[in-house]
Amino acid sequence: MTGRTATGPSRVHRARLAFALLGVGVAGFAALNLAMGAVAVPPADVVTIVARKLGWAIGDEPTFQASAVVWNIRVPRTITGVAVGAGLGAAGAALQGLFRNPLADGQLLGLGPGASLGAVFVLAGLAGGSEASLAGGAAGGIITALVVRRLDARGGGDPLRTVVVGIALGAALSAWVGFAVFALDRGSVPPVEFWLLGSLTGSTGPVAVRTAVITIIGIAVLVGSAGSLDVMALGRSDAEHLGVDTRMVSAVVLIATGAVVGVTVGAAGVVGFVGLVSPHIARRVVGPRNRPVLAASALIGAILVSAADLVARTIASPIEIPVGLVTASVGGPFFVWLLQRTRHAAS
């Protein structure tokens, strides 16, 4: 009895400490992204610039160049990166919980390429700029998520089959994105590298705000579904006997996940493997329950994308590497290791 009493508070304490450290990590990488780059800006000047833009007249007046670089370029880019990472991390955790599949990820299951295709078509037909890209990405992500759910049901829910089908679907959709980009007006549609490799270079204030708002709403919906996902881990039949409407939960989670992944793609293109890696780190830190895993995955995803963007901007400066290449360089080997581990567990 004493052991149980000690274990509960200890676990809660570790989880709280983990969330505090993750929050510090997000803030730390955000600060580094604001200060570092082709134009170095001292941290004190960054604080002064941001404070003055928010109405607090502190410190000496910064130079026009430093103010323009920090406020007009790096602040929107940093907010977009945090939102994209948080959305992808939470979406990956939700998909893994829904499909009971440790290999599930929005990009591996084809949601990212599907969102890219939706955004490309909407951009080609509308003059809405970033708003059209976000809306088209969300629509494409939702449609692809529902298609993947249908294919998973037909395949009996086999984890490896679902991933293989998702990869094949994603490859086909990526090819269609390439065809569409080359066939459509290059003046209204970003290049194919943006859609397939990801980039935060096009981040603006409106893009950052809309991406952050939609991502926060989507994550809130997913966190609200966490209790039902915990019950569904017992199996759909058992969950229905316990009063969970599994079809409704699946629909809500897939729509929210598709929208979140789609918006991140509309803002930054496909940034792969963040949704795969983040939940596995989160479970080691906060345990298996979906609610803390979803929240921790969002924070870890924000750290991963922020760190990847920092590397992409500085490792070969002034040349900028696509942020998706950086995440893939880490996530690809992780996926191979996880695939081998899953096969061994199944045999």
Q: Where are the domains of the chain?
A: 77-346
Give the integer Cα–Cα distance in Å for 166 and 172.
10
* Percent of the chain predicted with pLDDT > 70: 92
343 or 181, which is more confident? 181
The class level of CATH for 77-346 reads mainly alpha
DSSP 138: H
pLDDT of residue 11 exceeding 60, the answer is yes
Give the integer Cα–Cα distance in Å for 154 and 175.
25
pLDDT of residue 10 exceeding 80, the answer is no
How far, rounded to the nearest angstrom, does the alpha carbon of residue 5 sit from its chain's CA centroid? 37
228-238 core/surface letters (b: 16 or more CB in 10 A; e: else): bbbbbeeebee
Instruction: Please give the radius of gyration of the chain, using alpha carbons only, rounded to the nearest integer.
Output: 21
The tens digit of pLDDT for each residue in 258-271 reads 999 999 999 999 99
- The model's confidence at residue 346, banded by pLDDT at 50, 70 and 90, is low
* CA atoms 336, 339, 345, 347: torsion sign: negative
End-to-end CA distance of the chain: 37
The per-residue pLDDT of the chain, averaged, comes to 87
* Percent of the chain predicted with pLDDT > 90: 51
| DSSP-assigned states of every residue in 2-24 | HHHHHHHHHHHHHHHHHHHHHHH
The tens digit of pLDDT for each residue in 230-289 reads 999 888 888 889 889 988 999 999 999 999 999 999 999 999 899 999 999 999 999 999
Phi, psi values for residue 56, rounded to 5°: -105, 110
CB atoms within 10 A of CB 129: 13
Q: pTM of the predicted model, to two decimals?
A: 0.90
235 is written with which tokens?
């199996």
